[in-house]
Amino acid sequence: MAENFNQHSDVSAADLARLSQEAKSEATPSTARIIWDEFKADKPAMVALVIIVGFILFVMIASLFINTPQMMQTDIMNYFDKPGTDGLLLGADSGGRSVAQQLIVGSRNSIGIALGLTAISSTFGICWGLIPGYYSGYIDWGMQRVYDFMMMLPMTMMIIVLVTIIPHYNAITLTLIFSIFYWEGTSRLIRSRTLAESQKDYVAASKTSGTSNLKIIFREIMPNISSLIIVDTTLSFAENIGVETGLSYLGFGLPPQTPSLGTMIANANDPNNITQYWWTWLPAALEIIILCLSISYIGQVIRRAADASQRQGAAD
């Protein structure tokens, strides 16, 4: 068998090292390289990347040095301190608690929940979209009925009910409760693209090459819809920050003694706070706006990197 090929080709084992060296010098840059070039070409996105990475690192590290129970103790002497007084950088709220410290711990909680929720719900949603889209037929029918049933449930109400009947819930249980419901949009989006993608000839070629179905789904089709997956994941990360924030704002998110961006924005429920004590809610609101804007900038860059015709970075 191998002799057969040796007969008809001048290439022999001796040339292997030299030829693969030649090929390496002509190789197309890796995906990571392309994304990095794309960031370098787009200054606002670069700024957004620095903001996001820097902020998340700062919040994760700084919150390690903050004693949360002590921080959440009421201190009547600091009642609605203005920013800058009594050594409080962003002032204090109605309980005399430091807004700056609450912002750091609250951001860590909110971003942690959003990251966890995005990881779980996107992974599940992608699988629940790829598998029915590829197999179609009975598997598709069955999985879509499950999807329809989940869509039918009123999401917000179910979460509120679950939160009230679970006695001791914390950030982790809250993330899991959210994850039950937030995979649906992703799954339908991925399924529709997979339906189109699995009709293409390269899937047929992989089948005739003897590749197994699971390998075709996750190694052939998934990389080809990666731009869709990345955009959907970044955008749902931004959205998921809002999910936790929104429910905490309504009083059904994290327990009140746990600070989060949502509980801080809930300070704006009081008209007095809105007009006079703006420092209790404005920093959290601004932070959410900046985070979500930055994430969507980054998502755009990654989408452009995935599509050769939209690239602005260095040409290869």
Partner 1 sequence: MSLITIQNLKVHYPIRSGFWNRVTDEVPAVDGISFAIEAGETYGLVGESGSGKTTTGKSVVGLEKVTSGSILYQGQDITQKANRRRLNYNRDVQMIFQDSLSSLNPRKRIEDIIAEPLRNFEHLSKEDEKLRVLQLLDIVGLDADALYKYPHQFSGGQRQRIGVARAVATNPKLIVADEPVSALDLSVQAQVLNFMKKIQREFGISYLFISHDLGVVRHMCQNIAIMNRGRLVEIGTRDDIYNHPLHIYTKRLLAAIPETNVAQRAAHRASRLAVERIYQEQRAKYYDDDGKAYPLVAVSPTHSVALPAALAHQLAQEEVQREAQA
Question: Closest distance between partner 1 and the C-beta of residue 296, in Å?
Answer: 25
Judged by CB under 8 A, the residue of 28, 70, 257, 275 near partner 1 is 28
Query: Could you give the C-alpha distances from 213 to 75, 79, 142, 190, 222, in angstroms and in order?
Result: 62, 64, 19, 17, 12
231, 298 Cβ separation under 8 angstroms: no
DSSP summary character for residue 287: H
By CB under 8 A, is residue 25 in contact with partner 1?
A: yes
Residues in Cβ contact with 131 at an 8 Å cutoff, skipping those fewer than 6 apart: 139, 143, 217
What angle is formed at CA 102 by the lines to CA 115 and CA 237, rounded to 5 degrees?
15
Q: What distance lies between CA 267 and its chain's CA centroid?
A: 27
Of 143, 180, 173, 139, the residue nearest 158 (C-alpha): 180
Question: Closest distance between partner 1 and the C-beta of residue 17, in Å?
Answer: 9
Judged by CB under 8 A, the residue of 156, 164, 213, 226 near partner 1 is 226
By CB under 8 A, is residue 32 in contact with partner 1?
A: no
Question: Closest distance between partner 1 and the C-beta of residue 142, in Å?
Answer: 16
The interface mask with partner 1, positions 176-215, x = CB under 8 A, is ------------------------xxx-xxxxxxxx----
Residue whose structure tokens are 């179609």: 136
Within 49-68, which residues bind partner 1 (CB under 8 A)? none
Residues in Cβ contact with 219 at an 8 Å cutoff, skipping those fewer than 6 apart: 211
By CB under 8 A, is residue 271 in contact with partner 1?
A: no
The interface mask with partner 1, positions 5-24, x = CB under 8 A, is xxxxxxxxx-xx--xx-xxx
Q: Which is nearer to partner 1, 6 or 276 (CB)?
A: 6
Judged by CB under 8 A, the residue of 26, 43, 165, 315 near partner 1 is 26
Which residues contact partner 1 by CB under 8 A?
A: 1-2, 4-13, 15-16, 19-20, 22-28, 200-202, 204-211, 220, 223-224, 226, 308
